[in-house]
Amino acid sequence: MRQLDVCLTPDLLHLHQLDNVIVVVADIFRATSCMVTGLAYGVKSITPVATVEECKALQEKGYFAAAERNALMVEGFDLDNSPFSYMSERLIGSHIAMTTTNGTLSIAKAKKAAVKVMVGAFLNLGALANQLRSEQYDVLVLCAGWKGRPNMEDTLFAGALAEALKDEFMLMEDSALMAQRMYNQGKDNLLGYVANSSHVRRLQRLGIQKDISYSLQSDLYDVVPVLRGSQLVALN
Amino acid sequence: MRQLDVCLTPDLLHLHQLDNVIVVVADIFRATSCMVTGLAYGVKSITPVATVEECKALQEKGYFAAAERNALMVEGFDLDNSPFSYMSERLIGSHIAMTTTNGTLSIAKAKKAAVKVMVGAFLNLGALANQLRSEQYDVLVLCAGWKGRPNMEDTLFAGALAEALKDEFMLMEDSALMAQRMYNQGKDNLLGYVANSSHVRRLQRLGIQKDISYSLQSDLYDVVPVLRGSQLVALN
């Protein structure tokens, strides 16, 4: 039976063996929720990059550029880190370059060793679970966390995916079991469950409560973003 | 108001600032449960060391030596890693040198920067909470985990301490909130809650179910082990 494991932050990724493992990166508030939304709304590709400079360089080549640091848009870029910004008609068919505090770093770390890298969010939970069932590989959910620390929303997502896949995958490791139990504890009211988390407090100070509510909705989209070379594209 | 934070594994300790912080190290199965038991039963001091070689060197100086690797006693030593081994009359007034897979490494890491290092277990939960209330410092609970990964039993202990201290300490960070919620989810049946955790499965294969049940009991002892120089002694 295949295994599903959870890595609570990219700072623990060195403890995981990734050969023949599909890594699902989750940065619920808000990078991977943006990615899923953008690809669902017709964005052609999203290139995650580690630095603001790389993002700038792709912008000069004609990409729409999204750069977030500490939850705020970096000046001179085209897009902030709100999923609602990715619903724009101007982005249909476009290529986007994106760098964020935590999410794109996790993707960069994962792609060094994983057999495939996919992007997960509550927004595409069911589609992603179906895709993973149809693959032959073990799964590691990599929570982007916040500056190396575990966070609640990404752990809850990992738990949701573990719960969805528990009949097809073994949950052997404590991180996976803990995430699953936390999700089951909070699933009837995710918004309430994360209300006093550190990131929600941080985002609420920025007045983006609607991004939070939106990103906690399950199964809005059927899209599964997968990394092809340096680009995330919709799997089909 | 003081803060209580939780570090889910020593591999994340670099993310925490430890000046003016008391670090409480927890390795429930079984190092810190042994330490609390030993000091409660009259052991004079326990010197945690990082390597089997250092342990051997202290043994040659007359210490009782306890060396565990991968949950088994290393050959040629005096004590295994069962808390019941620490109830022996021959140990009253003695000095013990101890090295374990996870717990003593965490103590070694913590003592480099923390203002004080204490040892926690369910066995001394109430006494430890009282002591921390009487101090003036922030608290970080350092879960020893398993080879760098978070584990369930140490996270539950961190949550139990967070729950005990929630009126006097702020829980600002998600790791602390997650541990607290997990403890509240599992507290009515801790033994059942950890039953399918990876470490319990590992220990059960070794036939030491009684160590597990014992180590999940709260408030058997009033002792608070604190590091003085290189030795853990009972605070009084």
Q: What is the distance between the alpha carbons of residues A217 and B206, in angstroms, rounded to a whole number?
A: 44
- The tens digit of pLDDT for each residue in A16-55 reads 999 999 999 999 999 999 999 999 999 999 999 988 999 9
Tokens coding A19: 């050969």
A chain contacts of residue B198, beta-carbon cutoff 8 Å? 172-174, 177
Burial degree of B17 (CB within 10 A; 0-12, 13-18, 19+) = exposed
CB nearest B177 (choices: A9, A14, A196): A196
Does the beta-carbon distance from B174 to A181 stay under 8 Å?
A: no
Half-sphere exposure of B164 (CA within 13 A, CB side): 23
User: What's the CA angle centered on A230, arms A39 and A80, to 5 degrees?
Assistant: 50
Q: Exposed e or buried b for every residue in A198-214, given b needs 16+ CB within 10 A?
A: bbbeebeeeebeebbeb
Q: Which of A163, A164, A158 is nearest to A140 (CA)?
A: A158
- Please give the pLDDT value at position B204: 79
The answer to which of A189-198, A205-214, B128-137, B196-205 has the lowest mean pLDDT is: B196-205
A164's tokens: 């969805």
Structure ipTM: 0.94
Look at residue A127 in the predicted model and tell me its pLDDT.
Answer: 98
Give yes or no for residue A73 having a pLDDT over 90.
no
Are the CB atoms for A32 and A38 separated by under 8 Å? no
**pLDDT at A217 (0 to 100):** 98
Once rounded to an integer, what is the mean pLDDT over residues A71-88? 91
* Average pLDDT of chain A, as a whole number: 95
CATH code for the structural domain at A2-221: 3.90.1560.10
Out of A2-6, A113-117, B76-80, which region has the weakest mean confidence (pLDDT)? B76-80
Question: Would you say the C-alpha torsion A121, A124, A125, A130 has a positive or negative sign?
Answer: negative
Q: Which residues of chain B have pLDDT under 50?
A: none
**A197/B15 Cβ within 8 A:** no
pLDDT tens readout for residues B67-98:
888 878 888 899 999 999 999 999 999 999 99
Q: Where does the pLDDT of residue A207 fall: very low under 50, low under 70, confident under 90, or very high at 90 and above?
A: confident
Sequence-ordered alpha helix ranges (H) in A81-222:
103-111, 125-134, 152-165, 174-186, 190-193, 198-205, 209-215
Tokens 């608070």: give the residue.
B224
Residue A138 has pLDDT above 90, yes or no: yes
Class of the domain covering B2-227: alpha beta
Across the interface, which of A148, A181, A186 has its CB nearest the CB of B15? Answer: A148
* Beta-carbon count within 10 A of A219 CB: 13
**Closest CA–CA distance from residue A26 to any residue of chain B (Å):** 16
Alpha-carbon distance A187 to nearest alpha carbon in chain B (angstroms): 13
Residue B4: per-residue pLDDT: 98
Which pLDDT does position B201 carry in this prediction? 83
